[in-house]
Amino acid sequence: MRAPPTVLLKDVSVVFDGFVLFDGLSLELGAGEWTCVLGRSGTGKSTLGRLVVGLDTGTRPSGDLHDERGNPLTGRVAWMAQEDLLFPWLTVIENVALGARLRREQAPERQRQAHGLLKRVGLAGIEDALPGTLSGGMRQRVALARTLMEDRDVVVLDEPFASVDAITRAELQELAFEVLQDRTILLITHDPLEALRVGHAVFVLSEVPASRLTPVPVEGTPLREIDSPAVARAHGELLRQIAGTEG
Amino acid sequence: MSWLKPLLIALALLGAWQTVVFVFDTPPYILPGPERVLLVWVDNWVLIAGHATTTVLEIVLGLVLGALLGILTAVTMAFFRPAHSWLMPVLVVSQALPVFALAPILVLWLGYGLASKVAMAVLIIYFPVTAACYDGLRHVPRGWLDLARTMGASPRSVLRHVQFPAALPALASGLRIAASVAPIGAIVGEWVGSSRGLGYLMLHANARMQVDLMFAALFTLGIFAVALYFALDWGLGKLLYWHPQTAR
């Protein structure tokens, strides 16, 4: 059984050339839970995601980022972005096993694992297709399988379903929620309904600079039905907060 | 039927040529007709083939060495920031100085043989290959590099599995230009000083008023140059099977 960590951001400050984006920001990602961060463009959503993954943010952030035991997260976080980032010269199955290729792990069980994951995201039979021949939704499924292949305890999803149609998005949310269980998830999104469907905890980045985040209360547990009264009630409150006017 | 149009154009040009010769009745030492050139080509094909072998070798060697050198320079510039400011002037000079101006010096230093012509071809293709490859390496989508980073890839692995394949379409454009200009280097080299090659044969034939032989040599060079371009283009298309603009 997997034991995902709690991720703690403490007193994180990010300053770009005198422009303060985060000023002592603190956030806790519950172990094995989906934490959703909502916000408009320019509020630093993606920067927050990149910070947790350990990617370059274009500046030197200060503050602490570690798990509940104080251990760093290096090498323990997988990342899935809005663009599927599939390599067009690799086949679908090669894209799924990209990490193994980049790290030169040529074990046959990795190949079997890749095939299994492709089947799990509902794409068995297109192993040898090139990404250029797939639809947007299928490409994101491949990207999801590739993220699973990394088998990390923490996963950052940066608006992963923003560029597909509504029906496909709903399907992908369900699929992702199912296959990413028992992992600590940070979902960056601008879609309040997405956050309300899958989030154990929902936060809104509305002010710049952001310092303290308070969770928006949502009844029930995910995966919530999109037409449930709890979702409908929280939806209005969320929209008000995203727009920056306290409700 | 992509070969049909070039074929028709070639036939039309041959027809125009024959018409000019027929209408103006040009003497063969000024402008021989296509039929005469063909006859001379058939009569002298052993001679022409011998010289062509030399020229082809110069061009192909120049192309291979120039491409390798260009790729190596581009990779160096892309990975060692300081190298960029050091190598850029060299690159610009290699392009700004006309290869015609350097030809006598290269022949003086490297001799009448193969080396000076290969050097000339290398010099002429170095810039287009380097510039194209460097551009390709620099413009790899950031998301791909970020993803590779999160997967714990080493810089060497990123170069091999991400940057190089991603730069390949740009490099291919550079290589296509290289294939079309490499013959210039070799021929100029042969004109300045040589004892073999199609350029040498053309100068020699010109001096003896064998304009028909000159034309035969010129056509041989043209056919090879076009064949080289299309062979390379075909090969690159195979290599870029995934790239919608170039795949075949």
> Would you say residue B1 has pLDDT above 70?
no
List, for residues A35-79, the tens digit of each pLDDT value. 999 988 888 888 999 999 999 888 888 889 999 999 999 889 999
Strand partners, A29: A7
**pLDDT value of position B97:** 86
**pLDDT value of position A221:** 87
**Three-state SS across A17-83?**
CCEEEEEEEEEEECCCCEEEEEECCCCCHHHHHHHHHCCCCCCCCEEEEEECCCCCCCCCEEEECCC
Query: How far A131 CA lies from chain B's nearest CA (Å)?
Result: 9
Residue of B68, B50, B72, B173 lying closest to B121 (CA atoms) = B68
> Would you say residue A219 has pLDDT above 90?
no
Residues of A in contact with B162 (CB under 8 A): 87, 102
The amino acid at residue A46 is: S
* Joined tokens for residue A131: 């990404």
> Would you say residue A246 has pLDDT above 60?
no
Per the CB < 8 A criterion, the answer to whether A15 and A21 are in contact is yes
Interchain CB distance below 8 Å, B149 and A55:
yes
* CB hemisphere CA count around A90 (13 angstroms): 22
Give yes or no for A92 touching B (CB within 8 A). Answer: no
Per the CB < 8 A criterion, the answer to whether B127 and B91 are in contact is yes
**pLDDT value of position B248:** 62
List, for residues A129-159, the tens digit of each pLDDT value. 999 999 999 999 999 999 999 999 999 999 9
Confidence of residue A247 (pLDDT cuts 50, 70, 90): very low
Q: What is the mean pLDDT of residues B197-208?
A: 94
Residue of B51, B183, B176, B74 lying closest to B120 (CA atoms) = B183
Rounded to a whole number of angstroms, the distance between the first and last alpha carbons of chain A is 42
Cis amide linkage into residue B221, ω under 30° from 0: no
Residues 6+ apart with CB under 8 A from B183: B55, B59, B121, B221, B224, B225, B228
* Joined tokens for residue A91: 């086949």
List, for residues A71-100, the tens digit of each pLDDT value. 999 889 999 998 999 999 999 999 999 999
DSSP B166-214: HHHHHHHHHHHHHHHHHHHHHHHHHHHS-SSSHHHHHHHHHHTT-HHHH
Mutate which: A53, A102, A159, vs B, most B CBs within 10 A: A102
Specify whether the backbone of A182 is left (phi greater than 0), alpha (psi in -120 to 50) or beta. Answer: left
CATH of domain B53-239: 1.10.3720.10
Residues of B in contact with A79 (CB under 8 A): 146-147, 150
Tokens 């300045």: give the residue.
B192
Interchain CB distance below 8 Å, A99 and B143:
no
Confidence of residue A1 (pLDDT cuts 50, 70, 90): low
* CB hemisphere CA count around A225 (13 angstroms): 3
CA diameter of chain A = 56
Mean of the per-residue pLDDT values for chain B? Answer: 92
Interface of A with B in 184-213 (CB under 8 A): none
What is the second-level CATH architecture of the domain A1-76+153-247? 3-Layer(aba) Sandwich (3.40)
**pLDDT value of position B88:** 86
Q: What is the DSSP letter of A133?
A: G
Angle at which helix B45-79 crosses helix B81-96, to 10 degrees, equals 150
Q: What is the mean pLDDT of residues B77-93?
A: 86
Give yes or no for B85 touching A (CB within 8 A). Answer: no
Interchain CB distance below 8 Å, B148 and A102:
yes
> Would you say residue B90 has pLDDT above 90?
no
Residues 6+ apart with CB under 8 A from B16: none
* Nearest-CB residue to A132 (from B150, B157, B244): B244
Give yes or no for A60 touching B (CB within 8 A). Answer: no
Give yes or no for A150 touching B (CB within 8 A). Answer: yes
Query: ipTM score here?
Result: 0.92
Sign of CA dihedral A68, A69, A71, A74: negative
Query: How far B146 CA lies from chain A's nearest CA (Å)?
Result: 7
More confident residue, A202 or A107: A202
* Joined tokens for residue A127: 């192993």
Interchain CB distance below 8 Å, A85 and B158:
no
**pLDDT value of position B29:** 87
d(CA A1, CA A181): 11
List, for residues B122-174, the tens digit of each pLDDT value. 999 999 999 999 999 999 999 999 999 999 999 999 999 999 999 999 999 99
d(CA A233, CA A229): 6
Three-class DSSP category at B35? helix
**pLDDT value of position B212:** 93
Q: What is the mean pLDDT of residues A182-211?
A: 91
Interchain CB distance below 8 Å, B151 and A55:
no
| A:B CB pairs within 8 Å | 55
Cα A83 to chain center, whole Å? 12
d(CA A84, CA B167): 19
List, for residues B91-118, the tens digit of each pLDDT value. 888 888 888 888 999 999 999 899 999 9
Residues of each domain in chain A carrying CATH 3.40.50.300: 1-76+153-247
Give yes or no for A74 touching B (CB within 8 A). Answer: no
**pLDDT value of position B247:** 64
pTM: 0.86
**pLDDT value of position B74:** 94
Residue of A75, A149, A143 lying closest to A105 (CA atoms) = A149
Residues of A in contact with B246 (CB under 8 A): none
Give yes or no for B148 touching A (CB within 8 A). Answer: yes
Cβ atoms within 10 Å, residue A73: 19
Sheet bearing A154-158, strands edge to edge: A77-80, A154-158, A184-189, A34-39, A201-205
Q: What is the DSSP letter of A122?
A: T
Give yes or no for B28 touching A (CB within 8 A). Answer: no
d(CA B55, CA B57): 5
**pLDDT value of position A230:** 86
Interchain CB distance below 8 Å, B150 and A130:
no
Interchain CB distance below 8 Å, A103 and B165:
no
Residues of B in contact with A53 (CB under 8 A): 150
Mutate which: B144, B151, B158, B168, vs A, most A CBs within 10 A: B151
Confidence of residue A245 (pLDDT cuts 50, 70, 90): low
Mean of the per-residue pLDDT values for chain A? Answer: 90
d(CA B7, CA A244): 68
* Joined tokens for residue B248: 């075949």
Residues of A in contact with B153 (CB under 8 A): 102-103
